[in-house]
Structure 1
Amino acid sequence: MMTEPETTTPTSEEGSDRAELRRAVECVLLVAGAPVTPEQLTETLAVPLEAVLDVLRDLGQDYAGRGLQIQVVAGGYQLCTRPEFAEVVQRFLRLDHREPLSQAALETLAIVAYRQPVTRAEIETVRGVRSEHVLERLLDRHLIREVGRKHALGRPILYGTTEGFLRHFGLQDLHALPPLRGDDPRAAFIGTAPTGSPNGEDLSL
């Protein structure tokens, strides 16, 4: 007499773990900015490859009929907009909807403007907190640029302002910067103390 094959029903705990894995994979794909391979997801999330592939298939179905899609590109998976909405996305990106510069960004920008060319270490000495993140964001917004390297140990990068900086503040040239009152260049833009994260790195812009 033949017996029916046993079937297993996922427990509530397994279902919860799978849902959490789906959310984690979705987050990684969102911030990656480039195709992510299943192997990278496996290593990052510390789960079996088969579980990652199952979740990617599920997410692909979930995004069907929506403005976003999970696309297989160059052996990896990427969360991207659908081609039919390309014109809408391009129209939006031509507009400047960026947030105003934060206190941390203004502090860093003031130091670069008045002391350029200046290194990251010199900026951090004035601010008292790590400034890697803020510098990266200011570079992304084309308000500062790399102008060379200092002739010192390690050849650190030197930063200076851009034409975009002048346009942003309505300045004809750097000679039009407000005169400094005291030794701290931050006082020319704002007069408050720097803010930082608990681990000493400034994360705001």
Structure 2
Amino acid sequence: MNLNEPRDLAPLLEAFLLASGKPQSLERLYELFEEGERPEPAVFKKALTLLGKSCDNRAFELKEVATGYRLQIREKYAPWVGRLWEERPQRYSRALLETMALIAYRQPITRGEIEDVRGVAVNSNIVKTLMEREWIRIVGYRDVPGKPAMFATTKAFLDHFNLKNLDELPPLADLREMETEPVLEFDDAPVPAHLQALADASLEPDPDAEPEAPRDETSFRSLLAELDSMEQGLKIDFDDLLLDEADKESELEEPPQDDEDPRQQPS
């Protein structure tokens, strides 16, 4: 096998990517070869191009994401391939998706700034879930009273959503076109008669009850409108969000601050 020949190198790179099961950077692929046999970078690039073309008309494709290259099933086959796993795909709440959208399009952003846009307090479990999934991380602390943490997305977030960088995020106009009315799922089992009677009775207005004040609610459409003005300042460089070592040491010496805004807490 002539490793300096792209046509010989391409199948070997395919074997690496199939065996790894996760994205591999060019640097990592270089390290898999002994120094004396390592192909030139230009040969690597050409071999990857050939590998990508060889996937044409196949059920899988070569995709470059944030952390490197990977071989993956084409999206159009996902509904059928998903049947291999018995568990149902995880569903995310509207609040989590709105919070994730704000972080993605306005990073770095603090919890208080998210609450200002959404008009409601951010549930701590939402931030915890996003952190545990390694989709967001703390990249610094806003220089205001309380030193609130600033959140930004990670390369794991980009990998999960099949993106190479933040420039590939869909324009907000496209997201508005995709917005649909929520679909409710009901079981086919009939509702017991006594429960149906109680439900019907609850719909009848109580003449003695005082009318409820209208509630403020942030719709997804208004959220996207707010994000429109933020899209131009989108951060795309992860390195410039990192804290330097001096900042890290000073943060460790400061007592932890509660990011919760007491005015946002439910009564």
Q: Return the TM-score normalized by structure 1.
A: 0.42
